[in-house]
Each structure stands twice: as structure tokens, then as C-alpha cells.
Structure 1
Amino acid sequence: MRTTYLTIAGRIRQELTEITQVVERVQQIWQLYTSTQPRGNEFLVDATALNLHSFYAGIERLLEVIADRIDREKPMGSAWHRELLQQMTADIPGVRPAVLSPETRTRLDRYRGFRHVVRNVYSFSLDVEQIVPLVRHLHAVDAQIQRELSQFADWLEQAAGAE
């Protein structure tokens, strides 16, 4: 387990760095979109949506690794994405502490839902009004994710050292 825990902790830290880069890209693209007059460069909306999708996808990849390699149980079925978020808020005695707080799960669920939209509609059909709150809250949600996943990586490293 020691190597597994250390490997996952390293991966979490690496992905968090990449997630930060995605958040910065979203902010830069959105700033360009909102400063363009008249507002008409819809390609910037597409780029924002793609990066919001990447933000959530990066987080979900990490949660899947935790479910697969630590919990040894990944949700299945049509609602597995939502169930994965729920699973990560559970403290599993003898296995691991909760990875995410319920508040973070709730906030991430909005990005999960948007990820579904991006994957299932044509980009020219995206609703800018759906994107606005996601961009507005992105830094706060990212800060929560960075804090909670870093704490979990710390726990993994401590648990590996205790073996």
C-alpha cells in the first residue's frame, strides 16, 4: 500500500498544478470575451466551455483513481459520475477519510452537470448564462479543491509513512 499511496499523492499534486493552469486559462479567455465589444466572439464562449469541461474532468480523473486504487470500489451505471462525488464525501473507516466536504461536492456537481452539457450539445448551442456563474465561482471552487485534495495527499503520505 505504501507505494500506491505515495504514487496517488504525487499524482494528486501534479494534477492540481494542471487544474490551476486550466483555471487561469478560463479566467483569461473569459476576460477577453467580456472585454470584446460588441460581444460577438462566440468562439471565446466555446473555449471557455471546453476549459470548464477540462477543469471538472481533471478533478474527476483524480476521484476515479482514489475510488479504484484506495476504495477498490468505483460506482457503476448511468449515474456513476454523481455517485462518485457522493462516495468521495464519505469517511470510510479503516480505508480513508472523506476526500471532499459536502459543500465542495455540491459546488462540483454544478461543473459535473455542465460537463454533461458540453459533451452532449453542439458548441454553438451553449448558453452563455449557464457559463457565467461557473466562471464567477471558479476561483473559490478551485481553492476548495486545492485545499481538500492537498490535505488528502498529505494523509496518503502520512499513512504510507506509518506502514
Structure 2
Amino acid sequence: MNEADPILELMARMERTRQLLHRIVEEYRGFLEGDFKLMGRKNTSAIVIAELMVGYYTCAETLFLRIAQFFENNLDANRWHADLLEKMTLRIEGVRDPVISEETSRNLGELMKFRHFRRYYFELEYDWDKLDYLQKVFERVSESLPSDLERFRSFLRELTI
């Protein structure tokens, strides 16, 4: 086993996550273009939209946790979700480049807050104004995160040379 193997494994995990994120975005867009047009703003359509956004965030967060573990970033146990997002924006001299931009982090932070809210929200009535806002956030994240991850992947590739 050569020294690059752990980095190559991390890159493979990143690729798998990239594919999953892309698939979630495709499901989201397919839902909006298909069933949502038929259903309209019903509770069921709100649940589908919410679940896809939450799944997207959770998928990204899982990758960030793996990156943090790989580079031995310590996380504050009391607020590790927010701490993890912040650490992903840091350039740690001699260790790693930022994984995501500040803008991507802010937008993911909105999805994180929604996920935490959603986890404990047991009603079936959703606020469509809030969902409209979150959908705009989701669109921005789904545009910026893939390019951020590709930039970080290039950094990792340089480490294997």
C-alpha cells in the first residue's frame, strides 16, 4: 500500500457523495417538473421537498465529517454541526485548503437549521413562504457545492503527486 492510498480513498468517497448529491438534485428537479405540477402546494408535496433538501444537507455533512476526520480537525462536541461547517471554510496552512466557500457554508447553514427544525417538527403543515426561501437556498447550494468540491478534489489530487 502506498502513501497516497488514504487520499485516494477520500477522493473515492467524495466522488460517491458527488453522485448522490447530483441524484438528489435530479430527483428534486424531476419532482418540481412532474408530480409537483399535478399536486400543487399540498402537504404531501411540502414533505417531499423538505425531505429532499434535508437529505442533500445530510449527505454533504457526512462527507464533511469524513474530511474533518481525515485531516484530524477537532470539533466542538456541543455544537459540532455548525463547527463542522465553519471548519470546512478554513484554509489550514500546511494541512489543507478550504473545502467550501463562505457563501456555500452560509447556504448550507440555512439547510442545517431547517434540518434541525424538521427533525423535531411533527406537524404536517408547512409554511410555504419558508419553503420558497429554502428552495432558493437549495438552488444556490446545488450550484456552488459541486464546484467547491471539485476545487477541493484538485487539491487532494495534488497531494498524490
User: TM-score if structure 2 supplies the norm length?
Assistant: 0.89
Structural RMSD (CA): 1.8
- Bigger mean CA deviation after superposition, 149-158 or 53-62: 149-158
Measured after TM superposition, the shift of residue 59 of structure 1 is: 0.5
- Bigger mean CA deviation after superposition, 10-19 or 130-139: 130-139
Measured after TM superposition, the shift of residue 138 of structure 1 is: 2.4
Cα contact 1:13–1:150 (8 A) shared by 2: no
In structure 1, runs of 5+ residues without a counterpart are none
1:69 equivalent in structure 2:
70
Change (3 A) 1:51 1:123: farther
- Paired residues for 1:124-143 under 5 Å: 124-143=124-143
CA distance in 2, matches of 1:68, 1:40: 41
Measured after TM superposition, the shift of residue 80 of structure 1 is: 1.0
- Bigger mean CA deviation after superposition, 104-113 or 128-137: 128-137
Measured after TM superposition, the shift of residue 114 of structure 1 is: 0.8
Measured after TM superposition, the shift of residue 159 of structure 1 is: 0.4
In structure 2, runs of 5+ residues without a counterpart are none
1:60 equivalent in structure 2:
61
1:44 equivalent in structure 2:
45
- Paired residues for 1:1-163 under 5 Å: 1-32=3-34, 34-36=36-38, 39=40, 41-70=42-71, 72-161=72-161
Which amino acid counterpart does residue 31 of structure 2 have in structure 1?
I
How many pairs align?
Answer: 159
Moved over 6 A (4+): none
Measured after TM superposition, the shift of residue 151 of structure 1 is: 1.2
Cα contact 1:53–1:115 (8 A) shared by 2: yes
Cα deviation code 1:68-109 (max 9, x no counterpart): 012x12413231111111111111011101111111111111
Cα deviation code 1:45-79 (max 9, x no counterpart): 11111110000001101100010012x12413231
Change (3 A) 1:19 1:43: same
Change (3 A) 1:30 1:129: farther
Q: Which has the higher helix share?
A: 1
Cα contact 1:30–1:44 (8 A) shared by 2: no
Cα contact 2:11–2:153 (8 A) shared by 1: yes
SS of corresponding position for 1:67: helix
Change (3 A) 1:30 1:78: farther
User: TM-score if structure 1 supplies the norm length?
Assistant: 0.88
